[in-house]
Amino acid sequence: MTAFLPLPWFARGALLRRAREIASVLARHGLGWVLARVGLDRLVPLGRVRFGEDETDVPAEAQAERLRLAFGELGTTFIKLGQALSTRPDLLPPAYVAQLEKLQDAAPPVPFEAVRQIVHEDLGAWPEELFAEFEARPLASASIGQVHAARLRDGQSVIVKVQRPGVVAQVEQDLEILQGMAEWAGAHTAIGRDYNLPVLASEFAYTLRGELDYYREARNAERFRGLFTGDPGIYIPRVIRACSRGRVLTIERVEGIKISDTAAMDAAGVDRHAVAENSVRLMLREVFEFGFLHADPHPGNFFVRPDASIAVVDFGMVGHIDERLQAALLRIALAVVHRDAARLADELYALGMIGRRVKRMALERDLDHVLTYYAAGSIREIAATPALNEMLALSRRYRLQLPAELAMLLRVVAISEGLGVQLDPDFRIVDFAAPYLRKFLESRRAPRALARRLGDAALDAADLGLDLPRRVLRLLGLLERGDLELRVSPESLHEFTREMQRMTNRLALSLLLAVLILTMGLILAAYRPAALEPYVGWLLALPFVGALGLGIWWIWSIWRSGRT
């Protein structure tokens, strides 16, 4: 695939050594087909990778396990990449999602002296000077940072997250290589173009850089704390700003039971139904009321307190749901309720999720089948997750490009319902969510909301009216000077050009063969030496058989083209 292509820019210079390391690890795990699709195949000696082996030659489960092992070996960036991909069932088959979910973000502990040095560099004092107590042994050690238990001078228990030394430089180098790989795949492979891999790589880089910036995580935590103030079912721990910087984050330590430990909740007498309601209400308020989403909702980030309230931690990954997406989600929900496949397809097109190659009629038919199937049962017999899984299977089949926020939201919905069902087997997210969705719809239609939107539209119209004459004059000036240029993207012309080339080649070959037959016939008619008399029949028959074969092939080609 890459034999005649130049070495990609991300595999040169200072990045070459790391690019070779990435290629070697992938090759050692039998992932040569991945190398060929991202432009790294020539960085590995031919004897170390089987380029003839395609991903279809090995069962999906085995390939997924190979990918998980390779990502785990490549370190922080690829562990985070695998975890991010495990949240995109719209992009990956279930076997890959299941394997990548097993990636453990764990690393050997950083020596305590290195931790002390980072705290001193960021906070301007040693840990023993800032805290009454600071435990040398970490509570947990991950690829980006590790967590230590500590106690403030006023006696409050806190946890201190300290970033691993050198992790930022390594991650930035890997992100540059990943972006280059995505751009190469987008330019040279069909899957790269269909899924717009450069955009996905940019979104992943933004998210990972957010996790590296403890300033941003502190702001996220403070924003969540402000939004949920007054909600007795949700508790957000306080950030200790005096002991927090870019590489050190100190927050209030919360005690509680991990939300997935139902046995401990039963032993403590906690009302599990109330916990389920609190967990789902948290998600609903984040999406439809605040548009600000906790994007890492695994059970380790939620702790249940004795009063069934939920304490939420770890705000490194967040998502933003703007009003446009909120409105689109509401319209999608209405299309599902009314079983309107055409309207649902319209909304998917409006969100930019459907590419040019998707056949709309086939998509509408499959959407209608899904809607009809799930509308046939009682709402108590149908959970949200199976319906989401059906929609995700459709998205993979038609290569729909889900916005990152929507894919993140689907994962949050699935996890929230999974927790709700685990906490209370009779719990159904649709039943509980219905009043909140009605409330959200009413709030959007309230006079105050409509007045605000009309005011915004009026301001936009006023700005356009003031700016429009100047733009029109500028356009007329370009027309008068002859400087107006029309740019046409050649991508849509590639298939047309290839088809015209095929037609031209067929026509030229047919004319050449016809001329050959006529010329031989004229020559043999005008000049027939006695020595060639026994072979005249063969000389005439061969071009005739060739022309007959070409005619049959041509008819078959035309018939096949008409079918496609």
Sign of the torsion formed by the C-alpha atoms of 312, 317, 323 and 328:
negative
Kindly state the tokens that stand for 506: 């067929």
Q: Is 194 a catalytic residue?
A: no
Question: Any idea how long the chain is?
Answer: 564
CA 99 to chain centre: 17
Q: Who's near 1: CB < 8 A, 6+ residues apart?
A: 36, 37, 41, 188
- What are the backbone angles phi and psi of residue 169, rounded to the nearest 5°? -65, -45
| Cα gap 113→136, rounded to integer Å | 9
Which among 147, 116, 119 is positioned nearest to 246, based on CA atoms? Answer: 119
CA 488 to chain centre: 29
Which among 349, 296, 290 is positioned nearest to 322, based on CA atoms? Answer: 290
| Cα gap 205→378, rounded to integer Å | 43
Which among 415, 363, 358 is positioned nearest to 384, based on CA atoms? Answer: 415
From residue 450, alpha-carbon distances to 439, 454, 455 in Å are: 15, 6, 8
Residue carrying the six token digits 């960085």:
43
Catalytic residue among 90, 122, 174, 296: 296
Q: Does residue 75 come out as left (phi exceeding 0), alpha (psi in the -120 to 50 range) or beta?
A: left
From residue 20, alpha-carbon distances to 12, 25, 79, 296, 532 in Å are: 10, 9, 18, 32, 66
Q: Are 391 and 276 in contact (CB under 8 A)?
A: no
Q: Who's near 293: CB < 8 A, 6+ residues apart?
A: 286, 287, 318, 319, 320, 321, 405, 408, 409, 412
Secondary structure (H, E, C), 338-376? CCCHHHHHHHHHHCCCCCCCCCHHHHHHHHHHHHHHHHC
Q: Residue 163's beta-bridge partner residues?
A: 145
Residues known to be catalytic: 296
